[in-house]
Amino acid sequence: MFTGIIEEVGTVVELTTDPQGGQLRLAAAKLLPKLGVGSSVAVSGCCLTVTRQEDGSFACDLSPETLNRTGFRRLRPGSQVNLEAPLTVGTPLGGHIVQGHVDGTGTFVGLPPAGDDNYWLDVEVPAELARYLVEKGSVAVEGISLTVAAISGTRLRIAIIPFTYENTNLRTLEAGDPVNLECDVLAKYVEKLLSERPGTAHRPGADSGLTVERLREEGF
């Protein structure tokens, strides 16, 4: 369990892949003392397990599912990734509930200026994920807990403050890069529960058909 509050930007040392999966090795300084072999860590929003530690770096194994579901395919030695250690009892929940289970990848469009060193983060999202995104709702992009400023069709826009720009990997992205997305888990549970109510024909993964009026009728 994570919060989407990035603790450090790590650097890719090595990425090896084959049909059976792969391994990712990362250099980190601040986060490394919190980790040990077997620890969980969020790497740009993807929950991984530390399998090896060396001086100044740690390694994680990657399953084929991880490689298929995330934007790790764009990583190269020197690439920057966002790092977060797991939530512990007593840790402030400064962002939102992030599981580290990447739903899919969006496409980075750009970071146009928004005045006073602020930026707009524009991302194209898959149509099957767009229905879980609402204005002022939460979404994790590259593991960062962010608030949706606007969504039009499959285009997502998020306000980025100077601190987030300076302390995450967003400033290193290029147009067309895949970015990891995790939607608010509550939206997916609500959809599934409503779809299984008697007399409801909608299936998870299909168009939910939910409206504000329908949610009110169901007591939400």
CA neighbor of 70 nearest in space, from 160, 141, 175: 141
Partners of 123 in the β-ladder? 108, 156
Domain boundaries in the chain?
8-84, 104-185
CB 123 within 8 A of CB 179: yes
Same fold? 8-84, 104-185: yes
How far apart CA 199 and CA 155 sit, in angstroms, is: 33
For 8-84, CATH gives: 2.40.30.20
Topology of the domain comprising 104-185:
Elongation Factor Tu (Ef-tu); domain 3 (2.40.30)
* Global pTM value: 0.87
CB 66 within 8 A of CB 46: yes
How far apart CA 88 and CA 93 sit, in angstroms, is: 10
Banded model confidence at residue 191, pLDDT cuts 50, 70, 90: confident
Q: What is the pLDDT of residues 15-70, one digit of tens each?
A: 999 989 999 999 999 999 999 999 999 999 999 999 999 989 999 999 999 999 99
